[in-house]
Amino acid sequence: MSITLVEMSELTHFAVYVGMGEKKRFVLPISYLKDHSFQDLLCQAEEEFGFDYPMGGLTIPCPHDSFLGIISRMSSRS
């Protein structure tokens, strides 16, 4: 399936899998990709998995409660 540039420009959210053991799926605003806290999580994911994600999608190796705390702080800054 191919995505067009118009469809890509309309994207407002993206999905990530989060967890150290059991993974949970979160759908986040695309604007979070600019946040330094989220970029730190992406660096952790790169160190852990490279670009080969076991869930077939972006996977962040972070405990669920820690991730929720980071996301909560990010949303309060928006």
The DSSP 8-state label assigned to residue 62 in this structure reads S
For 36-62, how does the pLDDT look when each residue is reduced to its tens digit (9 = 90+)? 999 999 998 888 878 766 667 889 999
Phi and psi, residue 13, nearest 5°? -140, 160
* 3-class secondary structure per residue, 3-60: CCHHHHHCCCEEEEEECCCCCEEEEEEHHHHHCHHHHHHHHHHHHHHCCCCCCCCCEE
Which pTM value belongs to this model?
0.77
* Structural domain count, the chain: 1
* Domain hosting residue 63, numbered range: 1-76
For 27-41, how does the pLDDT look when each residue is reduced to its tens digit (9 = 90+)? 999 999 999 999 999
